[in-house]
Amino acid sequence: NTATVLQRHLVRLTDGTLVAVFYDNLKLVYSYSKDGGMTWSAKATIGTVTALADSSIFRDSSNNVYVAYLIDEGNLRLSKLVYDGNTVSIASGFPKNLPQTTWTETKIGIVKDKDGTLWIGYNTEQGAGGYNVQSSTTDGSTWGTGTGVGGSYGVMVLNNNGYPVTLAGGYWTGGSCYQWTGSAWVKADNVPLFNAREFCVTTTSNGYIHIVSGNFYAYYNGTAWSSGSGIDANFTIGASLVTDGTNLWCFWVGSDSDIYYKKAGAGYSWNATAVKLSSGGNCTNPSGLIYNTPGDMIPAIWTQSGANNSKVQFGLIAGYTAIPVLPVISNVSGANATTSSVTI
């Protein structure tokens, strides 16, 4: 699966239903589509926050979508969206409190492993050992003792073996990679230099771990990291990396403030020419869809602001062809509005 250090997310359920999670001013909200993104449900509130912060989502095999987020300094929350085959709603008993942190710049991650254990990852302090992981076998009601697995900023994904992997580091410093074996956290290898405040990690079906941070890409093959390479000269911010298990797609913001992407196939070499996805500029922080399979049309979400507010849009790419932006999911407003445009 894919994990991003971002404020918006998109996930596909097993029947093709799309669920988008994003901020509307100081509310974390969700909307869903059952027709491939052509129409969307009304926004529903997951929780209110005092300031925009990063969040994380994870979909399990039963189409439960877990949402972990920060509501204010030190206070983490966990919500759970459930699907009855027709509608998406918040599960009874949620949101729940998560382990507390003392640092405001919290990067949070949530996954559920093949044994049914929930894992939360978050940073507790700046410096080595600041990224902490804890587990719950009670669907988030209680949590075990924390384990430090690296530097200040981190991200957590589920590897092809069904267990979580973390990458954590400092600001433009090398970091560390840890993997859960089913009984212990084991350090896999050091991570190449990357900007840990803005990065994305995904795993492919061969067990490789891929990271994009700014205009930097590298992968871990289970033994060592690749030397790393740039993706495109017209790359400014907003790295987002997604996969269908074999191929990779990277989305980013170009110098004209529009969204671009490239594809990497076998051997993980990026196409020479980038494709422009958006128009009109004012775009930030794209985020790719979680859970793609071969043959899927590949989605992405991003922020696009207007003069007084912002809008959640829908677009489409099929393989390596950009399809024009389609209907608006929802308008969002406020000085801190975060918006999303979705591609499927």
Using an 8 Å Cβ cutoff, are 243 and 2 in contact?
yes
Residue 134 tokens, joined? 């804890």
Q: According to the model, what pLDDT value does residue 106 have?
A: 64
pLDDT by residue for the chain (344 residues), tens only, comes to 445 545 668 788 888 898 888 877 788 899 998 887 777 898 899 998 877 677 888 899 999 999 998 887 678 899 999 999 999 999 999 999 888 766 656 678 899 999 999 999 887 765 444 788 899 999 999 999 888 887 667 778 778 788 988 877 666 566 778 889 999 998 877 666 555 556 778 888 888 888 887 788 888 888 888 888 889 999 887 677 888 888 888 888 889 988 888 889 888 999 999 988 777 887 766 665 555 555 556 666 666 765 545 555 555 555 444 433 434 444 444 333 333 343 32
Q: According to the model, what pLDDT value does residue 306 have?
A: 59
In angstroms, the first-to-last Cα distance of the chain is 16
Using an 8 Å Cβ cutoff, are 311 and 331 in contact?
yes
Q: According to the model, what pLDDT value does residue 299 have?
A: 65
> What's the burial of 99, exposed, middle or buried (CB within 10 Å: 0-12/13-18/19+)?
middle
Q: According to the model, what pLDDT value does residue 145 have?
A: 86
pTM of the shown model: 0.81
Helix (H, G, I), strand (E, B) or coil at 151: coil
- Omega of the bond prior to 164 within 30 degrees of 0, cis? no
- The Cα 281–Cα 40 span in angstroms is 24
**Sheet with 9-12: strands ordered across:** 9-12, 18-24, 27-33, 44-48
Nearest one of 222, 175, 219 to 194, comparing CA atoms = 175
Q: Which residues face 282 on adjacent strands?
A: none
Residues 125-132: contacts with CB under 8 Å, at least 24 apart: 125/152, 126/152, 126/170, 127/151, 127/152, 127/170, 130/103, 130/168, 131/107, 131/166, 131/168, 132/99, 132/101
Amino acid at 50: T
Q: Which residues face 219 on adjacent strands?
A: 210
Q: Which residues face 279 on adjacent strands?
A: none
- The Cα 306–Cα 311 span in angstroms is 8
- The Cα 259–Cα 277 span in angstroms is 5
Q: According to the model, what pLDDT value does residue 253 have?
A: 85
Using an 8 Å Cβ cutoff, are 319 and 263 in contact?
yes
